[in-house]
Structure 1
Amino acid sequence: MILIDPPIWPGWNRVWSHLVSDESYEELHAFARKVGIPERGFDRDHYDVPSDKYDEVIAAGATPVPTRDLVRRLIASGLRHRKGT
């Protein structure tokens, strides 16, 4: 399943969401391509999504979840890739 958290993460004069899959990186990359998120937006285990694309990504099929749930499900899937590991 593709999951997205609320756009609360500041950076580069914007706020961002995280887009993940709790199934596979292949699912995540395919979804990102489908909604026009560039590959440069991929960071270890997620895509950074600017707030202006949040509603579009949900309309395309991503499930909105609180950040805590997104992280919990990413860890449970075995796809979590922490910085430095």
Structure 2
Amino acid sequence: MTVYVDDMHRYSLGRYGRMKMSHMIADTAEELHAMAAHIGVARRFYQGDHYDIAMSKRALAVSAGAVEVSMMELSSMCRRQKVEGHCGDPREARAWWSQYRAQRRVERGVERPTSSS
């Protein structure tokens, strides 16, 4: 299992006053909470499926083995986790999300399936 941290701190969305923040996720809540405890992030900052962490805690997480991913990858991984129960490979995250969305549109009758001939 792996813990992931994103690069949200690079965007205005990742700024909270003067602080720069990132998200931290993992395949399991146990692993996520263990990393949070290891790097000194209080459980009260748990957001239901992730932690918002400051740059200093992000650096500690990375030095403790967390994998750096883009904000888009992490967002797709969070969605996959809700659907399939795991984050999946960050390199496949955006492609998985695109395929999932396309399949959902087909299931709702919004779009016709594409033929693969």
Confirm whether residue 56 of structure 1 aligns to residue 60 of structure 2: yes
Tell me the number of residue pairs that the alignment of Structure 1 and Structure 2 aligns. Answer: 78
User: Which of 67, 70, 74 lines up with 1:70 in the alignment?
Assistant: 74
The alpha-carbon deviation at position 38 of structure 1 amounts to 0.9
- 1:46 counterpart letter in structure 2: H
Q: Who is 2:18 aligned against?
A: 13
Structure 1 moving runs of 4+ over 2 Å: none
Confirm whether residue 3 of structure 1 aligns to residue 4 of structure 2: yes
The alpha-carbon deviation at position 53 of structure 1 amounts to 2.3
Q: Deviations over 1:38-76 (max 9, x none)?
A: 112211211111012222210001100001101111111
Q: Which has the higher strand share?
A: 1
3-state SS of paired residue (1:15): strand
CA RMSD, 1 decimal: 1.4
Q: Which has the higher helix share?
A: 2
Q: 2:54 and 2:30 mapped to 1: Cα distance?
A: 21
Q: Who is 2:115 aligned against?
A: none
- 1:37 counterpart letter in structure 2: V
Structure whose alpha-carbon radius of gyration is higher: 2
Q: Which has the higher contact order (CA 8 A, sep 6+)?
A: 1
Unaligned residue ranges in structure 2 (runs of 5+):
86-117
**TM-score for both structures, normalised by structure 2:** 0.61
